[in-house]
Structure 1
């Protein structure tokens, strides 16, 4: 029977919560399942048996780090690459999916609105930013009934750019319906829609507001579709990475094992596609306001999830005309931002965290 490395997984993205800092290096415990009596090495140093597993220390001293486990008796080796994200600890952001209606309102009121923040929805997020410093990413549709992004004027472009330090825009989908539009779509369709949205964002708001991470509508896409997004320039995709009826949901193309692993992590990198996946920690419109703090406390208590807090909400729940309107939308946002601030989390975009 060969040995099996239990932690870390190949592609794991680690931080101080996974180990401890010694002499400016992150030292983690590598855990290995193997029969008694084996002589195992972790990066050349002997592993020790403690209870069910063998353990050996590995010191990470840069962004990418190779960990090699060797069985002296059988000659078996297992090498994997893991990452140390130094800038992703005690950080958070808010992402907003399904956005299009606030842009239509800006167009409808372009002769009255002197500022994009005259739109009440966008103004609400600015209030959150002004109070807590929160950074917010809006993932956009290209079109909705009677409106598409080509109708957005570029007259507010300088204002968008001036607020790019806390406000970002990026691709989400062509439109709201049908559900899971890219679950079986050809990569050409994904890329076409991405280019439509991105091109219009650059035209009316500037390249400064773009962000190289997003959530695809319903978090469902083929490997080939995700590869097309990576080739376009996206480095990260956020999702739920959980199961419903025994199947992964909002997990892109990841298999059961990968989904289950990522469910308890902040990030994980699929080396085969050079893509980083980001676990969404709390969907605010899916929680009662009084449950938000309890859920975020639970996330913080898990070392694998505590480094970066990814918060998500959807645009439509803000509006009284929507069938599932949530009148406490503002309070949910404010509760989450306040919790993050009081618990020592600083606002950050993913682009500021997931690189070297």
Structure 2
């Protein structure tokens, strides 16, 4: 019997993380790293000190701002952190309710989010495909449609 040393870690999942992307977009000319964002800086500190692994679930739009407005200049930071910092779909917006949406709508929203998250982070390793839908709700039709998307839910 072999013994495998296991590193202690803690997993934290956080919803509604869209503000992080807004901050990165607004400060793209000033930040040299994603870890200049206060939230990501704190998570990086927790990762370094305690082995934190984080799953961050975000919306794709808020008002007139969308993930498509976020530059891809921070790909190296995201990719380098992919073993402990993951990004996933939470909903199109605060008003998204997948217990009332069609499968087609859910798949469209999910696909847009994953496409933009891949562009922003630069790696499929950064994507969390475990579902964390807004209000923890969605029909089987919606879930099946999201599962059938590229990089679909697991």
Aligned-pair distance for 1:214? 2.3
Aligned-pair distance for 1:101? 0.7
Indicate the residue corresponding to 2:125 in structure 1: 208
Indicate the residue corresponding to 1:196 in structure 2: 112
Q: TM-score, normalised by structure 2?
A: 0.88
The reply on whether 1:226 has 2:143 as its aligned counterpart is yes
Aligned-pair distance for 1:100? 0.6
Indicate the residue corresponding to 2:101 in structure 1: 185
Residue correspondences, number: 144
Find the structure with the greater CA-based Rg.
1
Counting only pairs closer than 5 Å after superposition, residues 269-308 of structure 1 correspond to structure 2 as none
More strand by share: 1
Aligned-pair distance for 1:124? 1.0
Q: Distance in 1 between the 2:48 and 2:131 partners?
A: 24
Q: Distance in 2 between the 1:129 and 1:203 partners?
A: 24
Q: CA offsets, 1:252-307, max 9 Å, x none?
A: xxxxxxxxxxxxxxxxxxxxxxxxxxxxxxxxxxxxxxxxxxxxxxxxxxxxxxxx
The reply on whether 1:105 has 2:23 as its aligned counterpart is yes
SS at match of 1:138: strand
The reply on whether 1:130 has 2:48 as its aligned counterpart is yes
Higher relative contact order (CA 8 A, sep 6+): 2
Indicate the residue corresponding to 2:3 in structure 1: none
More helix by share: 2
Root mean square deviation, CA, Å:
1.5
Which aligned runs of 4 or more in structure 1 are off by greater than 3 angstroms? none
Q: Distance in 2 between the 1:91 and 1:191 partners?
A: 33
The reply on whether 1:119 has 2:37 as its aligned counterpart is yes
For the 8 Å contact 1:139–1:214, the answer to whether it is kept is: no
Structure 2 segments unaligned to the other structure (5+ residues)? 1-7
